[in-house]
Chain A
């Protein structure tokens, strides 16, 4: 591990006042939970609204008329078709056709794309993007902005009190909105499977705004622990666990992120390798897995067939508070990836019966 001192987000003092249990994450000192605990924070998010500090993530903008075309060289998503006010999930690719990072890209209008990348990857992603830009397209990091996620069925009611127009935003909509007098960039998206918003706010105004949100009766703070259990129940990948520089989008079951036109053109970095895996078929696939009992299976747990042959590995696993049961995702041999396939998870040396299960484990409740 790095010996460098941990960085803090603009909400650091607030986390400490709220009694957050701080842990190192991607080089930042972050709250894994508050005194309510992960279970309560998770269930509250599904019932009402939870506020997450995700300011550790990398925010940046690409400026210039050629920004979308330039980004298309690096990602398989259709960036040219991304309309102003819309956001899309896509992947940065390696020349080997594996995943450098996953990210959100929004068309902010006025020849500007707004990007949010993973905290652990921003120092890789952003230089990589910068190195591939043509003349006339520039990349600017937003180190002076915090990022808050307000997630849950009550998020729309809460945020509408600050600006009525956010209620009309569609899922994966994006807008510049004044909230409590602060210029914010708001997307209707998140990482929990719930309706909600991610709000980019100037660092100097972040704490005050977060406290305003927390003062709303529906809102409770939630830490990285609940964020992880929520995204796992929602079947969403965590970079570094479920996808990384060894996984191809085909085996990661992320081909839905590749635009139709992009699959005709195959002109992004790593496209040849992705295309080859699609043509030849992957040897393994990312699937959802539910253990039969109550014992969770964590990341790196081996997956075996009844005869003991190792056929894969769990990449994310834990207990799903909304399922009141354990759930996991991982990679298995392709012939064992069908829903309902019975497998064993090798937990503490013993086979734990489990089966392949469609994801999300907990239904998405995005606004339509």
Chain B
């Protein structure tokens, strides 16, 4: 299991056996508040970097979740569609959103590491 990387849109991404697992950060779920609905992409969909692929809605507002890297969606997490509150309870663990087979596995290295993301949050 490789280190977790982060985007400026507050997604986390972690490589597991050549597949990128993606979710939203603890910081993101805090900012959103109580998550009440999650819309996930169709597996098999080819996505580009930065493309809006999922939606997360709190009581107050809707937000897009973006693909941090280009590739093909292989799997989505039906558990969070059934129980959206999981996103608040375990954002960076069991409440992952989707998995992508990266078009370029090196693309993840360009994203922020834990320290850089912490700094990014602090400055925004």
A interface residues, Cβ below 8 angstroms from B: 32-33, 37-40, 42, 225, 228-229, 294-296, 298, 318-319, 321, 326, 348
Contacts and interface: CB of A to CB of B under 8 A. Distances in A.
Given A33-B33, A319-B37, A229 B62 contact: no
Interface string B53-65: 0010111111000
B34 A38 contact: yes
Given A295-B39, A296-B62, A298-B62, A38 B33 contact: yes
A44 to B, nearest CB: 13
Given A38-B34, A296-B62, A319-B57, 15 more contacts: A37-B34, A39-B33, A39-B36, A39-B59, A40-B34, A225-B59, A225-B60, A229-B59, A294-B36, A296-B37, A298-B61, A318-B59, A326-B36, A326-B37, A348-B39
Contact of B60 (A38, A40, A295): A38
A298 B57 CA distance: 10
A148 B39 CA distance: 38
Contacts, number: 45
Contacts of A298: 61-62
Interface residues of B, number: 13
A326 B55 CA distance: 15
Contacts of B62: 296, 298
Nearest to A224: B60
A32 B59 contact: no
8 contacts: A33-B33, A40-B34, A42-B59, A225-B60, A318-B60, A319-B37, A319-B59, A321-B59
Interface string B17-40: 000000000000000011011010
Interface of B: 33-34, 36-37, 39, 55, 57-62, 84
A277 to B, nearest CB: 34
Nearest to B62: A298
A37 B37 contact: no
Given A295-B39, A296-B62, A225 B33 contact: yes
Contacts of B55: 348
Contacts of B33: 33, 37-39, 225
A294 B37 contact: yes
B34 to A, nearest CB: 4
Contacts of B34: 37-40, 321
Nearest to B85: A39
Q: Which of A294, A326, A348 has the most CB of B within 10 A?
A: A294
Given A39-B34, A225-B33, A319-B36, A295 B57 contact: yes
A192 to B, nearest CB: 15
Contact of B59 (A38, A294, A295, A348): A38
B80 to A, nearest CB: 12
Contacts of A319: 36-37, 57-59
Q: Which of B34, B55, B62 has the most CB of A within 10 A?
A: B34
A295 B81 CA distance: 10
Contacts of B36: 39, 294, 296, 319, 326
B60 A32 contact: yes
